[in-house]
Chains A and B, each alone.
Chain A
Amino acid sequence: MIEFNQNLKKPRTEEEIQKENQDKTQNLKIYYDYFFPFQQIFEWLSYGNLDFFHFREFSFLSSNIIRRFVSFENVTEFQRYVSMNIPQKIDYGAIYNYPPNKRNEITEFQPKKKELIFDIDITDYDDCRTCCSGTNICNKCWIFLVVAIKTLEYILRNQFAFRNILWVFSGRRGVHCWVCDKTVLDSSDSLRKNIVNFIFFENDEKKPLTPNQLEIYNEILEPYFKKVIETQELFEKPENWQKVLKFVKEEEIQKKIEKDFEQLPDSKSRYEYLQTMDYSKILPQIIFGVIYPRLDINVSKTMNHLLKSPFCIHPSTQQVCVPIDPQKCEDFDLKLVPQLNNLVDEFNEKGINSIPQSKFLNYYIKKLFIQDFLDKLK
């Protein structure tokens, strides 16, 4: 099990820390100058209309200071700013009715357009994870995020018919989703709220499943639940299955299942037992409770929320926030996510020639970002 928690390292001296920060900044500068895809980000954010770029809010974190409402007239300005300030984090906000850096010039400064964004964080699954907790994450708990991606993909593509969706690894313990269809960009906060409420599942819902929920259940949740049980060993021992059975609403039934579980020999038979007629109504309660995407809905409901840029470097893990292929998200390996150090080391060794053959350029930028996403926007 790989743990990405930085705090586990041995304490460092003042000098070492300073040195490390300097290194980090230097590495970051190289990254921004040679790796970060400014031009493609620009093409995305402008949607073929320069004003969209110009009126967009950028936000930067450097030396622990967040600067919001920065804006640029073109990509050169953006690039120059980043190269000079070497921010630890870049976030994008909404497209406003006026350039955000001049917002004081008008009285009614308002967001007008914004992608629909989702932020899913593995810590929200802590009550069901058996391998890690807190900010730690491993390939075993990644399965929760796989289900979340698959479910949202299904809802967004099949139910809402959205086509322009970008999935990004958040750099540490979650994933971000950007929905960029025109209908969404233009939608008011009230429509946004309705979309999000439609997607959000309330756990204490006593109502029967809606036809759309049933569809998701049959297509995604039920098939994936078996995998989750296996990977997380949820039906192996009592303290694990308690994490699951707590979603059974009637206390008596829950007690009974717990008892019967102890009598059964293995994980497989326990699952089959839940599939029997008696519990066919209970199973959806459990499955929705355990694996239905747990969204931070406030991020999605209003336009003025910020979200980290794809291809940023996560300040504490040094991992690149790379795009994720939703079709293949099961194969996404946390251990193989490009890291700032590795990219820069190779660059220092081989010079600029290291880039053309790199997976970073060919897979993450060319395939996932340009071919799968950007080209389809046009």
Chain B
Amino acid sequence: MDFKVKNHSLNFVSKQSNELSCLSFYEKIPINDIDLETLEFYAVDRLKVLWEIERLQTAKKDYETAQQLSFVIDRYLPLSNKSTTEQRDKDLISHFLLRCCFCHNEEDRIWFIKNETKLFESRYYSLSPQDKRKFISENFPHKPINFQLLDPMIKNSLLMTDRLESKFYKIPFTEAGELIGSKKAYLNQGFAYFSEKVIGKIFRTQFNQKIAIGLQKASNIFDKFDERIQKMIEKLRSKNNTFFQFGNQDGTHIEFDELKNKIKSFPLCMKLIYEKLIQDHHLKHQGRIQLGLFLKGIGLSVHDSIRFWKQEFLKKMTEKDFEKDYIYGIKYNYGLEGKRVNWSPYSCPKIIGLKPAPDDFSGCPFKFLSTHNFKQILLNLEQKPNEEQINELISLKEGGHCQVACQRYWDLVHPGLDEPLNKLSGIEHPNSYFKYSEEYYEIQKEKEKEKEK
């Protein structure tokens, strides 16, 4: 047994570990006394990070993804060489707990390895230069080569990749892994030559392999755990499965009854489809999928989703017809029928690319609405925009910058922020629009409370 569970609070053993680099390949299991709730709290935080990584992979721009990612990591799993022992332990312990959660089948293993590797990589690249050197010296057994002694052709080739002052290394290509695949090393007679700045790729490959091997052994670790921890891990597993089922990433659920209050956070595309549905008690196929997946993404369960569609559709058809024609499609969206793929909610680029039929409100309104109708919508807003704002939005829309327009629209309908919540240039996903909006209303609520005090 490796973590001892105590009923009182934390009690740490491994103090001297702070001398070592904070990043690790997770080869040693920490020995600590720790209480069960803390364990669970650690694991859930890590799960949140991994899910966020998964979600961001669908986003397009690398730079923004990196920024958002380090934001999430700092929030839930901060780690640097200055980190406290507690932070370091949180990282190690949560990793080993999740290994036990994800070791049971191939699909889980692949998912875990993929996202853990991303996490590792992101952390590696945000190390300070000194910390990076430290990590390299601890984990990379090769000495830099003497540049001056190299063959002139190799010298020239290396100087195309980095400055003369850098350290260069030479290893057999078979050990260079992704450095080869990504063409970051110079290959000559079976050896890979490269500068220190790309060593990260080797670590990435190593990390990947080590975690894969670790996962194969993880079920043994699991068996040795004390029963309470085993139970907790089982609970985590099912929690992770519900993330899957609800299709959303941060694990929030939305109850059917809450839905009405959430409409104000819908992006314009979803709001229009929703209004169309309320008006016609019916929706065409494309709109059903677009809205249906979005609702799944914000955390509506299959069960509630069926209730939601029924509530409108039954105003125009019999229950029997509904069951016959529509239940399948709803379950399909949740991966419970047909191909059994847990379809992700459509991203903005996907929605913008849709071709809505006339009078079908699917697609992105910043693309398909006529300028006249668009202006009408703006004028009817509760948060009256001024002339300048209207013109800006219209010109963005006419320029085809749907996502940027959508972003400005968000700013418009969420006034009163000291600093706009989301500084990115353009909305990436209707579900992130929703998320930012929810966060906004949270903050507003807190402000209200403050005022009352």
Q: Kindly state the separation between the CA atoms of A159 and B187 in the bound complex, as whole angstroms.
A: 5
Min C-beta distance of B170 to chain A, whole Å = 13
**Nearest CB to that of A186 among chain B residues?**
B174
Q: Kindly state the separation between the CA atoms of A261 and B205 in the bound complex, as whole angstroms.
A: 48
Q: Which one, A161, A193, A213, contacts B181 given CB within 8 A?
A: A193
* Pair A195/B180 contact, Cβ less than 8 Å: yes
* Pair B177/A159 contact, Cβ less than 8 Å: no
Interface size class of B (residues with CB under 8 A): 20 to 34
B422-452: CB near A (< 8 Å → 1, else 0) gives 0000000000000000000000000000000
Chain A interface main SS type: helix
* Pair A194/B180 contact, Cβ less than 8 Å: yes
B183 contacts the other chain (Cβ, under 8 Å)? Answer: yes
Q: Which residues of B contact A213 (CB under 8 A)?
A: 183
* Pair B173/A160 contact, Cβ less than 8 Å: yes
Q: Which one, A162, A187, A197, A211, contacts B157 given CB within 8 A?
A: A211
* Pair B190/A212 contact, Cβ less than 8 Å: no
Within 8 A of A (CB), among B177-211: 177-178, 180-183, 186-191, 205
Chain B interface main SS type: mixed
* Pair A190/B177 contact, Cβ less than 8 Å: yes
* Pair A211/B178 contact, Cβ less than 8 Å: no
- With A183-B174, A187-B174, A215-B157 known to touch, is A159 a contact of B182 (CB < 8 Å)? no
Most B CB atoms within 10 A — which of A161, A198, A211? A211
- With A211-B157, A211-B160, A211-B161 known to touch, is A194 a contact of B190 (CB < 8 Å)? no
Interface size class of A (residues with CB under 8 A): 20 to 34
Min C-beta distance of A297 to chain B, whole Å = 12
Q: Which residues of A contact B181 (CB under 8 A)?
A: 193-195, 197-198
Q: Kindly state the separation between the CA atoms of A194 and B186 in the bound complex, as whole angstroms.
A: 14
A191-213: CB near B (< 8 Å → 1, else 0) gives 10111011000000000001111
Min C-beta distance of A153 to chain B, whole Å = 14
Min C-beta distance of B111 to chain A, whole Å = 18
Within 8 A of A (CB), among B147-172: 156-158, 160-161
A158 contacts the other chain (Cβ, under 8 Å)? Answer: yes
Q: Kindly state the separation between the CA atoms of A278 and B419 in the bound complex, as whole angstroms.
A: 49
Q: Kindly state the separation between the CA atoms of A227 and B398 in the bound complex, as whole angstroms.
A: 51
Q: Which residues of A contact B174 (CB under 8 A)?
A: 183, 187, 191
Most B CB atoms within 10 A — which of A160, A213, A214, A215? A160
Q: Kindly state the separation between the CA atoms of A198 and B182 in the bound complex, as whole angstroms.
A: 7
Q: Kindly state the separation between the CA atoms of A312 and B190 in the bound complex, as whole angstroms.
A: 32
* Pair A161/B189 contact, Cβ less than 8 Å: yes
* Pair B177/A191 contact, Cβ less than 8 Å: yes
Q: Kindly state the separation between the CA atoms of A99 and B173 in the bound complex, as whole angstroms.
A: 31
Q: Which residues of A contact B191 (CB under 8 A)?
A: 161
* Pair A212/B180 contact, Cβ less than 8 Å: no
Q: Kindly state the separation between the CA atoms of A159 and B180 in the bound complex, as whole angstroms.
A: 11
* Pair A161/B190 contact, Cβ less than 8 Å: yes
Min C-beta distance of B215 to chain A, whole Å = 16
Q: Which one, A183, A187, A195, A212, contacts B186 given CB within 8 A?
A: A212
**Nearest CB to that of B161 among chain A residues?**
A211
Q: Which residues of A contact B158 (CB under 8 A)?
A: 211
Min C-beta distance of A84 to chain B, whole Å = 41
Q: Kindly state the separation between the CA atoms of A159 and B178 in the bound complex, as whole angstroms.
A: 16
**Nearest CB to that of A187 among chain B residues?**
B174
Q: Kindly state the separation between the CA atoms of A159 and B189 in the bound complex, as whole angstroms.
A: 5
* Pair A212/B183 contact, Cβ less than 8 Å: yes
Min C-beta distance of A289 to chain B, whole Å = 18
Min C-beta distance of B119 to chain A, whole Å = 20
Q: Kindly state the separation between the CA atoms of A161 and B187 in the bound complex, as whole angstroms.
A: 9
Q: Kindly state the separation between the CA atoms of A347 and B69 in the bound complex, as whole angstroms.
A: 72
Q: Kindly state the separation between the CA atoms of A184 and B33 in the bound complex, as whole angstroms.
A: 48
Min C-beta distance of A120 to chain B, whole Å = 20
Within 8 A of B (CB), among A146-171: 158-162
Min C-beta distance of A151 to chain B, whole Å = 14
Q: Kindly state the separation between the CA atoms of A159 and B172 in the bound complex, as whole angstroms.
A: 11
Min C-beta distance of B78 to chain A, whole Å = 31
* Pair B178/A194 contact, Cβ less than 8 Å: yes
Q: Which residues of B contact A194 (CB under 8 A)?
A: 176-178, 180-181
Min C-beta distance of B67 to chain A, whole Å = 22
A208-228: CB near B (< 8 Å → 1, else 0) gives 001111110000000000000
Q: Which residues of B contact A214 (CB under 8 A)?
A: 157, 160
Q: Kindly state the separation between the CA atoms of A133 and B180 in the bound complex, as whole angstroms.
A: 35
* Pair B178/A212 contact, Cβ less than 8 Å: no
* Pair B182/A197 contact, Cβ less than 8 Å: yes
Q: Which residues of A contact B205 (CB under 8 A)?
A: 190
Q: Which residues of A contact B187 (CB under 8 A)?
A: 159-160, 198, 212
Q: Give me the interface of A with B, judged by CB distance under 8 Å.
A: 158-162, 183, 187, 190-191, 193-195, 197-198, 210-215
- The contact sample of 14 A-B pairs, CB cut-off 8 A, is A158-B189, A159-B187, A161-B189, A190-B177, A190-B205, A194-B177, A194-B178, A194-B180, A195-B181, A197-B180, A211-B158, A212-B157, A214-B160, A215-B157
Taking A194-B177, A211-B161 as known contacts, 13 extra A-B pairs with beta carbons closer than 8 A to each other, sorted by chain A number, are: A158-B189, A159-B188, A160-B187, A160-B190, A193-B181, A194-B176, A194-B180, A197-B181, A198-B180, A198-B187, A210-B183, A210-B186, A212-B186
